[in-house]
Amino acid sequence: MGEYIQVNTAGTQCIGAYMAKAQGRARGGLVVVQEIFGVNAWVRSAVDRFAAAGYTTIAPAFFDHVETSVELDYTSASSTRGKALVGEVGFDRAVADVAAAAQSSASAGRIGVVGYCWGGTIALLSSIRLGMPAVSYYGARNVQFLDEALEAPVQFHFGEQDGSIPAAAVQRHREAYANDVLAGRVEIYTYADAGHAFDRDVDPSHYSPAAAKVARERTLAFFSRHLSPASA
């Protein structure tokens, strides 16, 4: 469904991206932010799924700053390599890439961002620093940024069996954003039978079908509220 394009970044380098146009009239646009495994087959499937739901969607290949065409599987060795790559890319450059990707699909209308794992934290930062409505799935690195003010609504998803995000970390989100929750700007959801990466439907060791289904429904409802013309 999608195609590969080039995105001009804030520096002199272009990076690749996988983009899929909305089916029918666009309801807005989305930037999908990868896990630590690059723009692999699962990320592309997520892009296609959001496009099928009516959003022109793009997944920038952040790792192109370091090495082109990186697609990792879910082995321990790939996890180690992915962590090293995200460390080289860094938060600031990734957020700038989200802004560049959003600009490249601006014709779709208002743009939101959805991210997973490392990308969940980049999604949060995109609300804080870019003012983009954001959905953050199991962002284990979120806690270091909870003292920064949000500039757009955010929805969070956490698995209660996620060893990398203990209950105390989720509670810190609730405390940091207590007023935003009351105002309807922040939604925080937990899933009892889900762990980390519960939306990754190509990985039976992590995928939780029931949690993923509900989280995806909530994600689409969030973007319907915050990216529609009436919400702009």
Q: pLDDT of 153-183, one tens digit each?
A: 999 999 999 999 999 999 999 999 999 999 9
Query: C-alpha angle with apex 100: 94 to 103, nearest 5 degrees?
Result: 145
Half-sphere exposure of 127 (CA within 13 A, CB side): 27
Per-domain residue ranges of the chain? 3-231
pLDDT in tens, 6-54: 999 876 689 999 999 998 889 999 999 999 999 999 999 999 999 999 9
* Cβ-defined contacts of 85-90 (< 8 Å, 24+): 85/36, 85/38, 86/36, 86/62, 86/118, 89/62, 89/63, 89/65
User: Are 112 and 135 contacting, i.e. CB atoms less than 8 angstroms apart?
Assistant: yes
- Under a CB-based contact definition with an 8 Å cutoff, are residues 28 and 65 in contact? no
Question: Looking at domain 3-231, which of 3.40.630.10, 3.40.50.10190, 3.40.50.300, 3.40.50.1820 is its CATH number?
Answer: 3.40.50.1820
**pLDDT, tens digit, for every residue of 116-129?**
999 999 999 999 99
Length of the chain: 232
d(CA 91, CA 88): 9
